[in-house]
Chains A and B, each alone.
Chain A
Amino acid sequence: NAGVTQTPKFQVLKTGQSMTLQCAQDMNHNSMYWYRQDPGMGLRLIYYSASEGTTDKGEVPNGYNVSRLNKREFSLRLESAAPSQTSVYFCASSRRGDSKETQYFGPGTRLLVL
């Protein structure tokens, strides 16, 4: 039982390049989330998926797109990377989208955009 896994662990991009961050969970959770973590700002929600087949914007969605490929997988795509997207990205999942539910986090992807 691996929990939430993310690939890659590290990535360096040049401005304008594109990439997809992958996330998978093996806990049969319905809801999945993408956050970014920046120094002094805590975690901010980029996009979430309440259930398979649905996605919605969070607090900071500009410059990103997501795909809920199936119940297990939720990917985050940067179409044209910018230096402002240098950050640590965390994927999380929860059993349901209920406000009381615990979220389970992956180990993160560290992205540097030059």
Chain B
Amino acid sequence: AQSVTQLDSQVPVFEEAPVELRCNYSSSVSVYLFWYVQYPNQGLQLLLKYLSGSTLVKSINGFEAEFNKSQTSFHLRKPSVHISDTAEYFCAVSSDGGATNKLIFGTGTLLAVQP
């Protein structure tokens, strides 16, 4: 069975500092990996995803994540955060073989950016 672990429930960081949000997964088959972001009182929206090819994927707002198969990780990074990045971030995994796109979500990491 697949699972996703986000060890950090909350990450406080100062504005303009770098940040890394950790995500590890377990799966016996090839996986697709996603990061979704949830701003306060909103639904989730896709930040970035890894399907195949280059292991480094980037979002339009400066986040990036690297798929590391040997370490079963998909950590999210940003070199300099803004106040507007304050949100909850969810890592998710899916895999081929099922009839439907069943996403398995981690428990989320709250990124709290302080001035």
Contact = CB atoms under 8 A, between A and B. Distances in A.
B107 A42 contact: yes
Contact of A107 (B9, B43, B49): B43
B83 interface: no
Interface in A47-101: 48, 50, 56, 58, 90, 92, 94, 96-101
Q: State the main secondary structure of chain B at its contact with A.
A: loop
B28 to A, nearest CB: 15
Contacts of A101: 101
Contact of B105 (A31, A42, A96, A99): A42
B100 A31 contact: yes
Interface stretch (B14-22, B53-61, B88-96): B88-96
A45 B102 contact: yes
B106 A50 contact: no
Nearest to B30: A99
Nearest to A40: B107
A43 B34 CA distance: 14
A56 B4 CA distance: 23
Contact of A97 (B46, B51, B100, B106): B100
Closest A-B pairs by Cβ, 3 of them: A105-B43, A97-B100, A42-B105
Given A4-B43, A48-B100, A105-B44, 17 more contacts: A31-B100, A41-B107, A42-B4, A42-B106, A42-B107, A45-B102, A50-B100, A56-B100, A92-B44, A97-B99, A98-B101, A99-B96, A99-B98, A104-B46, A105-B36, A107-B43, A108-B43
17 contacts: A42-B105, A42-B106, A43-B44, A43-B103, A56-B100, A92-B44, A94-B101, A97-B100, A98-B101, A100-B101, A102-B46, A102-B49, A103-B46, A103-B103, A104-B45, A106-B43, A107-B42
